[in-house]
Structure formats: C-alpha cells, structure tokens
Amino acid sequence: MRGGGRAVVLGCGDFFFRWRSYLPLILAPLLAAAVVRSQLAFDSRDDLVWEIGCVLLALAGVALRAWTVGVAAPGTSGRNTREQKAASLTTTGPYSLVRHPLYLANSIIALGLALFPHAWIAPPLVATLTAVYYACIAEREDQYLRERFGAAWAAWAARVPRVIPSFRGWVPAARPFRWRVALRREFYALGVVLVVPLLLDVAEDLHETGAFDLDPVWTATAVLGGALFAALRFLKKRTSLLDVPRRAEGRDRPAT
C-alpha cells in the first residue's frame, strides 16, 4: 500500500477504533431496509430452522469473544476507545490462530444477524461493510503493535494470519480461562444477540402481513437475553462476584 493510501487507512482506523462501539449501529437500518426490499421465501418449518442456525452462528461469535477476553493478559483486548493500549503481546490461545480474534468474532456476529431476515442483499452488504471497517482498525492496531513490540510482533505476524484462522501454529493459552472476566465483558454482546432476532422477526412480520406479531421462540429468547443482561450488569456494578481476585491474577503465567 502506498504512503497516501496507507495514511488514509490508518486515519480511518483511528476514527473507527474510537467510535467502534457506536458505528455498528448503522447496520440496524440497513438490515431493516433489507427486510423490506429483498425477502426470500421459506416455509414455516424451514424458516425457524434457518433463524435458529443464524442465531447459533452469532452465538459462536460471542463464544469466540468470551474465550479471547477470558484468556488474554490484563491490559490487552480492552474496551478502551481513546487510543490503542497493550501492556503485553498476547500470542497464545486464539491469538495463535488469528491476529485479530475479536474482530473476527464481531464479523461472525454481524454475519449471523444479517442472515436472519432471509434478505439476500443483507449478508453481502454487511460482510463488505464489516470487512472494510475492521480492516482499517486492524491495520492501525498492527502498526501500533509493530512499533511497541518490534521483533516480537514481526515474528508473531509472520506465522499467524490476520483474518483467516490457521490451526497449524496452535499454541495453548498461556493463561487459564477467567470466566469472571468473560462474563463481565461479554454480557453486552450476549444480550444483543439474544434480543435482536425478535426485533428482526417483528420487522419481517410487519412488512409481510402488516400485523405486529411476537413469535414465541424469539420472544422467549429476548426475555432470556434481557434477564441475563440485567442480572450480569447488576452483578458487575453492584457486587464483587465478577471481580477477579488479585491472587488469581498473580498465579497466571505471563503471556508471551
């Protein structure tokens, strides 16, 4: 990539990184428009099977996020938005398969939800937008890590792909999975994946029949998602149950 083009990508990466919690919300009206414009026909049984498969795909993305943050070293894989931060370079566990597992997980979640409405235009549209979006952020993150960790980053990047996971260089996680960290960090994503299908299903029914109809499966899923979100948020904000004991952090082996 030439200097001018790279500067544009890095500038976009900085912007997307800072606002990455909010920019994906633009996918919501795009999905709604896709529901209206490009429906595919399914019979009722195939319809439910398809939708369950889409939600399971999105949940696989949540699981990848939970695994990644659960084994990452403290001070990495954070939700900071002002600037890039990395106290150490994590190269084991999911980071031995792909350099940006969180961005891969987010893309899987987005694709699962985009497939849900049976709209042929939604998956390629969302896939293209997320590819551009996370490619810019990943390029900026790679530059930051290259400058901070030098030869260690170069050696890791030479053997681990940026986007498509490869199991040839698998290295077990240097740290044990910390379920408290995973729950503290990922109940937001879990809540979204469990609630959004109901909204998409309602939009689909309104378009097809003009009636407001609550599907029992997705209503129950949304109620479960809302309950889990509320419970985990309460535990995070009001209790110490999800706090990681300092002595447990001290026993973790340092990540490489």
In angstroms, rounded to a whole number, what is the distance separating the alpha carbons of residues 109 and 64? 10
In angstroms, rounded to a whole number, what is the distance separating the alpha carbons of residues 230 and 239? 13
Q: Is the pLDDT reported for residue 101 higher than 70? A: yes
- Report the share of the chain in percent with pLDDT over 90: 50
Q: Which of 79-83, 100-104, 121-125, 203-207 has the lowest mean pLDDT?
A: 79-83
Strands (E), 77-223: none
The SS3 assignment for 119 reads strand
Q: Is the pLDDT reported for residue 172 higher than 50? A: yes
Beta carbons of 118 and 203 less than 8 angstroms apart: no
pLDDT-derived band at 106, boundaries 50, 70, 90: very high
Beta carbons of 23 and 133 less than 8 angstroms apart: yes
Whole-structure pTM value: 0.83
In angstroms, rounded to a whole number, what is the distance separating the alpha carbons of residues 49 and 200? 15
In angstroms, rounded to a whole number, what is the distance separating the alpha carbons of residues 183 and 203? 30
Query: Which pLDDT belongs to residue 255?
Result: 36
Query: Which pLDDT belongs to residue 117?
Result: 84
Mean pLDDT across 32-43: 59
Q: Is the pLDDT reported for residue 80 higher than 50? A: no
The SS3 assignment for 154 reads helix
Query: Which pLDDT belongs to residue 253?
Result: 37
Average pLDDT for the chain:
82
In angstroms, rounded to a whole number, what is the distance separating the alpha carbons of residues 225 and 127? 25
Beta carbons of 205 and 213 less than 8 angstroms apart: yes
Q: Which residue type, as a one-letter code, is found at position 142?
A: D
How distant, in Å, are the alpha carbons of 48, 198, 202, 218 from that of 215?
10, 7, 8, 6
In angstroms, rounded to a whole number, what is the distance separating the alpha carbons of residues 113 and 93? 26
Q: Which residue has the higher pLDDT, 106 or 38?
A: 106
Q: Which residue has the higher pLDDT, 121 or 76?
A: 121
Mean pLDDT across 188-212: 88
Mean pLDDT across 19-33: 63
Report the chain's C-alpha Rg in angstroms.
20
Q: Is the pLDDT reported for residue 75 higher than 70? A: no
